Structure 1
Amino acid sequence: MFFKRPTKEVERERNQRLLEAVYSTKASWDHARETERAVYEANVNSELHYRSRIQEQKFLYLYKIARKFKVHGKLNDGVIDR
């Protein structure tokens, strides 16, 4: 009763929400890295670096969960060039 496998609808919704979280976190991480690079020459404190690292760790955690559940998303055009 307590250890039933989730239904297909629940799995589909979970996978969709997980993918959305992964994609938004990846975009946030990319933005944080670009901001850090742009401001690097101005010798600003390391707060931007720490924010970038936090976004990276969030992304890696969500990515690990997605791999655990074997969730597949859309292909990135930058990865495969035909």
Structure 2
Amino acid sequence: MLFHHRNQEEIKQERDQRLLNLIYETKASWDHAKETERAVYEANASTELHYRSRLQEQKYLYLYRIARKFKVHGELNQSVIDR
């Protein structure tokens, strides 16, 4: 069919899954930025790494707020359980 309309539930599930994937990728990027900042901190690097780490943190928190707004629930992340 040329103009097949998708079910609203399918669209919601796809949106939720994409949001979760983006959150997981951003969290991994943020963790990597924190580790890099810690490693380079001992070498007296510029504050650029600190700002990159903060940017990744803000992206993650923004996506997290959106997920809460849409009531999206994902898998438990090991880094969250460790805290």
| TM-score of Structure 1 vs Structure 2, range by shorter chain | 0.7 to 0.9
TM-score, reference length from structure 1: 0.86
| AA matched with 1:72 | H
Question: Distance between the aligned counterparts of 1:13 and 1:60, measured in 2?
Answer: 21
1:13, CA displacement in angstroms?
0.4
**1:66 and 2:64 are equivalent in the alignment:** no
Residue aligned with 2:21, SS? helix
Unaligned runs of 5+ in 1: 1-5
Residue aligned with 2:73, SS? coil
**1:36 and 2:34 are equivalent in the alignment:** no
| AA matched with 2:53 | S
**Following TM superposition, where does structure 1 have runs of at least 4 consecutive aligned residues deviating by more than 2 angstroms?**
none
Paired residues in the alignment total 75
Superposition map of 1:1-82 within 5 A: 7-78=8-79, 79=81
1:77, CA displacement in angstroms?
3.6
Which protein has the bigger helix share? 2
1:75, CA displacement in angstroms?
1.2
| AA matched with 1:25 | T
| AA matched with 1:18 | L
CA RMSD of aligned residues (A): 1.5
Cα deviation, 1:26-48, whole Å, max 9, x if unaligned, reads 00000000000000010110000
TM-score, reference length from structure 2: 0.85
Residue aligned with 2:24, SS? helix
| Percent identity for Structure 1 against Structure 2 | 69
Unaligned runs of 5+ in 2: 1-6
